């Protein structure tokens, strides 16, 4: 369904004279099968959101190839891309910011239908009410503005809006992290139901391991722009091979993993070797000098480490 090959995203910073390049996503590759949910986990600042947005070309990837349903997305011109966009939707972290504050629920949900065209006013109205019901809202919510509703209700509107364009593929970027715990569970349940009923392919970005365990079929662990380990969720939770993945899943009390976050480290240095080297408890000399290659453990389990 979706194949991403060597996706790279650099941001430049600094003035006109002295430009600094920061590699946020570093040659990542992954595949997502039809109807599958692919979880992308990592601490904040590791580039997972950028990876998600680049996959949809909401931000232009620096290099790499993205093949969606047989179409090379990276080669599409702006106009062709616009035609393809309804088939791939993104759900953002902050539901309140994802909705135009001046649009009532019904208008927000109707927008994708209007943009696509070909539907009469009545058909649009009917479809909107249908979607409102699908995501578990009441008809009366149709006439409310985003500021009159809770975060959970707004996230349901965002979901309905994304579903209105009949997507095949959804990137959900921390869709529950802005919500109360009780509401989180409801939204996750709803997303699971929708995924099953509509056979959606999903890329689920989160820092919450419980969520990824619950939601995804396959997963990848990201660190400083690189995918360190990738495979079936169950496999990774049962026998993670990469030291970083192991630390994430079973944090050691002695480990100061939480103190040092990825953003605080210098990321633009062209230091050779493994990205995790400075924090790796098992690091060897080789790790500092040579960059590791992806190693296939079995059919669908890959690890980026010298030591496996």
Asked if 145 touches other proteins (CB under 8 A), the answer is: yes
In the complex with other proteins, the residue whose CB is nearer, 147 or 181, is 147
Minimum distance of other proteins from residue 147's CB (angstroms): 6
Q: Residue written as tokens 């972290």?
A: 93
Judged by CB under 8 A, the stretch of 43-51, 145-153, 191-199, 225-233 that binds other proteins is: 145-153
Asked if 198 touches other proteins (CB under 8 A), the answer is: no
Asked if 45 touches other proteins (CB under 8 A), the answer is: no
In the complex with other proteins, the residue whose CB is nearer, 88 or 248, is 88
Of the candidate residues 48, 161, 218, 224, the single one contacting other proteins (CB under 8 A): 161
Minimum distance of other proteins from residue 85's CB (angstroms): 4
Minimum distance of other proteins from residue 149's CB (angstroms): 11
Site for other proteins in 96-115 (CB under 8 A): 97-102, 111-112, 115
DSSP string, the chain: -EEEEEEEEEEEES-SSS-EEEEEEEEEEEEE-TT-EEEEE--TTSSHHHHHHHHTTSS--SEEEEEETTEEGGG--HHHHHHHGGGEEEE-S-TTTTS-TTS-HHHHHHHHHHHH----HHHHHHHHHHHHHHTT--GGGGG--GGGS-HHHHHHHHHHHHHHT--SEEEEESTTTTS-HHHHHHHHHHHHHHHHHHT-EEEEEES-HHHHHHH-SEEEEEETTEEEEEEEHHHHHH---SHHHHHHHS--TT--TTTS-GGGS--S----S-TTGGG-TT--HHHHHS---EEEEETTEEEE-TT-
In the complex with other proteins, the residue whose CB is nearer, 93 or 201, is 93
Of the candidate residues 89, 201, 202, 216, the single one contacting other proteins (CB under 8 A): 89
Asked if 135 touches other proteins (CB under 8 A), the answer is: no
In the complex with other proteins, the residue whose CB is nearer, 89 or 134, is 89
Judged by CB under 8 A, the stretch of 51-59, 131-139, 186-194, 277-285 that binds other proteins is: 51-59
Asked if 148 touches other proteins (CB under 8 A), the answer is: yes
Of the candidate residues 92, 204, 223, 244, the single one contacting other proteins (CB under 8 A): 92
Characterize the bridge pairing of strands 201-206 and 88-91: unpaired
Asked if 147 touches other proteins (CB under 8 A), the answer is: yes
Question: Which positions touch other proteins (CB under 8 A)?
Answer: 53, 56, 58, 82-86, 88-90, 92-94, 97-102, 111-112, 115-116, 143, 145, 147-148, 158, 161, 165
């Amino acid at each position: 369904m979706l194949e991403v090959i060597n996706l790279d995203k650099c941001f430049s910073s600094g003035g006109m004279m002295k430009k600094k390049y920061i590699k946020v996503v570093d040659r990542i590759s992954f595949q997502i099968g039809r109807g599958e949910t692919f979880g992308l986990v990592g601490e904040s600042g590791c580039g997972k959101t950028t990876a998600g947005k680049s996959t949809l070309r909401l931000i232009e990837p620096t290099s790499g190839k993205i093949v969606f349903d047989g179409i090379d997305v990276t080669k599409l011109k702006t106009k062709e891309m616009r035609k393809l966009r309804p088939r791939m939707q993104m759900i953002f972290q902050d539901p309140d910011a994802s909705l135009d504050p001046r649009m009532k629920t019904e208008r927000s949900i109707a927008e994708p239908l209007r943009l696509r065209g070909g539907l009469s006013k009545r058909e649009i109205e009917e479809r909107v009410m249908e979607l409102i019901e699908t995501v578990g809202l009441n008809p009366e919510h149709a006439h409310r503005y985003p500021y009159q509703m809770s975060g959970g209700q707004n996230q349901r509107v965002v979901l309905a809006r994304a579903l209105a364009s009949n997507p095949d593929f959804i990137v959900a970027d921390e869709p529950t992290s802005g919500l109360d715990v009780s509401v989180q569970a409801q939204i996750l349940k709803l997303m699971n139901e929708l995924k099953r009923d509509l056979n959606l392919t999903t890329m689920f970005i989160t820092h919450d391991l419980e969520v990824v365990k619950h939601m995804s079929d396959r997963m990848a662990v990201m660190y400083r722009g690189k995918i360190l380990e990738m495979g079936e969720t169950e496999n990774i939770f049962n026998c993670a091979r990469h030291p970083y993945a192991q630390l994430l899943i079973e944090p050691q009390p002695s480990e100061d993993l939480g103190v040092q976050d990825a953003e605080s480290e210098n990321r633009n240095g062209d230091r050779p070797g493994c990205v995790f080297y400075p924090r790796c408890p098992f690091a060897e000399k080789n790790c500092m000098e040579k960059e590791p290659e992806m190693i296939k453990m079995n059919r669908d389990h890959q690890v980026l480490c010298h030591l496996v």
